[in-house]
Amino acid sequence: MLVVINYGSQFAHLIARRVRELGVYSEIVPSGITANRLKEMQPDGIILSGGPSSVYEKGAPLIDKGIFKFGIPILGICYGLQLIGNSFGNVDGRNVKEYGKAILHIRKKGRLLDGLGKDEAVWMSHGDSISSLEEGFEITASTDTCEMAALENNSRKIYGVQFHPEVVHTKSGMRILKNFVFSICHAKKDFTMAGMKERLIQDIKKEVMGKGVLMATSGGVDSTVAATLIHEAIGSRLHCIFIDHGLIRKGEREEVDRLYRERFENYYSVDASAPFLKKLAGISEPEQKRRIIGHTFIEVFEAKAKELKKNHPEIAFLGQGTIYPDRIESAQPSKNASKIKSHHNLTLPEKMHLRVIEPLKELYKDNVRELGKMLGISNHILYRHPFPGPGLAIRILGEATKERIQILKEADFIFIEELKKSGYYDRVWQAFAALFPIKSVGVMGDARTYDYIISLRAVTSVDAMTADWARLPDSLLEKISSRIVNEVRGVNRVVYDITQKPPGTIEYE
């Protein structure tokens, strides 16, 4: 087993996931963990994650220096490396900072960088750097602006990299982690998704203990897999509710109703579009829209829950399909994490008299899909593109009016339909249309138009923590643009978004 100490990085769970991909169980612990508690866990190795802090700023999360005395191999990543520097040398703020792609120049491969080439593409995200280290540490790699980009101290079993090996942009990142996990830590392969499936089912049975579970389901990958997993554990004691808030895709409700009525004994479909649209009137700020949708969702869900509990008093739990990217972008994994955006599902427990159960909370999307296959869920469901809980409201920049929602539904339907026809739907991680709250001049026939702009977004990704824009054929984009402009009343211009994540996010709001 390996332990990842979380210092607030947006990639802390990604590190743990990479270790699990290597077939080794990994567990995340908070930054305040003591040396004694860590020793009790008996890990084969310890990884110190990155984080948004500077080691020398007031209140920065630090490390119990007793951890360095165990003789257990330690790998510091980014901020984790700076914690090593702070304990065995000095760390300074830099005038030259590194964010994004950099070229790593290997001085000495050593144990950690064994198997790498002379120059390697890596992904950097740091403002501070180590300026000096005591004897025993050897610099094994540098970049043009960071001298100590990788180092090791074999006698102390301490290793570190200033870049992020866990992200896909670091081309040999998995080789580096593999070297640490197996060559340095000598960990054993003991983790499989098949084993996790059985463990999760047993955990649900143990936690629920004969009670019922109420679950908000969207028809998406996450909620479907979570509901199916819970159903596998407790059967008809699961009650699924689908709430149509008027912000879903064209034809979505009909498809979800059919899907869930076939799969679950107890399924309830609620049309609540009117109250949602009424409360969103005049609201443009993204976080305010999310909060309104979240709070209204609670009100509608709670009303239905009270109705169901009259006939099913055994209901005591609220099931959620929350996966790790939902939690990590809401700054849930660590008190040191920087909040990117709120996630409305995570606010549900505040007004519900139900205990929350989130069986997928430690998993990423590809893990969820693998689990779904084991549960017998069709690829049609498992490989649907992600759809945000707040729906089209956060794909309409500005106020989500009834007119704008209808325009976006039609434009998005055309985009997805053409992607599926061309075979590109399954080649991208996520694709959708967004509506800009501004109008541009156009010409249709002999008439001047003044209509909305639709932005098309399609990205490739592995885990949604980083993403690149999809290189769709010009001919396909031309066809999609032509159809939208000609078939969707109120649109006269279509653009294609080529922003990566980071610096952008996949969604607009």
Supply the pTM of this predicted model. 0.70
Average pLDDT (340-346) is: 43
- Stronger pLDDT, 347 or 2, i.e. the higher one: 2
C-alpha to C-alpha distance for 47 and 160, rounded to whole angstroms: 9
φ and ψ of 486, to 5 deg: -80, -30
AA letter at 90: N
Q: Where are the alpha helices (DSSP H) in 162-285?
A: 173-178, 193-208, 221-234, 252-263, 273-280
- Stronger pLDDT, 90 or 236, i.e. the higher one: 236
Cβ contacts of residue 270 below 8 Å, gap of 6+?
241, 242, 243, 244, 300, 304
Q: Domains in the chain, ordered, with CATH?
A: 2-184 (3.40.50.880), 193-382 (3.40.50.620), 395-496 (3.30.300.10)
Q: Read off the pLDDT band of 325 (50, 70, 90).
A: low
**pLDDT at res. 109:** 87
Average model confidence (pLDDT) for the chain?
89
- Does 245 qualify as catalytic in the annotation? no
C-alpha to C-alpha distance for 454 and 408, rounded to whole angstroms: 8
Block residue for tokens 């084993």: 195
Q: DSSP code of 438?
A: E
Let me know: does 400 contact 247? Beta carbons within 8 Å.
yes
Q: Tell me the per-residue pLDDT of 99-141, one tens digit each, with 9 for 90 and over.
A: 778 999 999 989 999 999 999 999 987 667 888 899 999 999 9
Distances, alpha carbon 309 to alpha carbons 213, 277, 381, in Å: 11, 27, 30
Q: How many Cα atoms are found within 13 Å in the side-chain-facing hemisphere of 207?
A: 19
Q: Which of 13, 126, 164, 343 is catalytic?
A: 164
What CA dihedral angle connects 350, 351, 353 and 358, to 10 degrees? -50
* Two tokens, residue 286: 């993204």
Q: Which string of b and e fits 424-449 if b means at least 16 CB within 10 Å? A: bbeebbbbbbbbbeeeeeeeeeeeeb
Q: Nearest Cα to 315, choosing from 230, 419, 405, 238?
A: 238
Count CB-CB contacts under 10 A for residue 309: 17
**pLDDT at res. 94:** 62
Q: Which string of b and e fits 366-398 if b means at least 16 CB within 10 Å? A: ebbbbbbeebebeeebbebbbbbbbbbbbbbbb
**pLDDT at res. 442:** 85
- Does 78 qualify as catalytic in the annotation? yes
Block residue for tokens 């739990």: 317
Q: Which of 98, 120, 166, 329 is catalytic?
A: 166
Q: Are strands 315-319 and 89-106 parallel, antiparallel or unpaired?
A: unpaired
Q: Which of 78, 146, 185, 240 is catalytic?
A: 78
Q: Tell me the per-residue pLDDT of 8-57, one tens digit each, with 9 for 90 and over.
A: 887 888 899 899 999 998 988 999 899 999 999 999 999 999 988 888 88
- Does 98 qualify as catalytic in the annotation? no
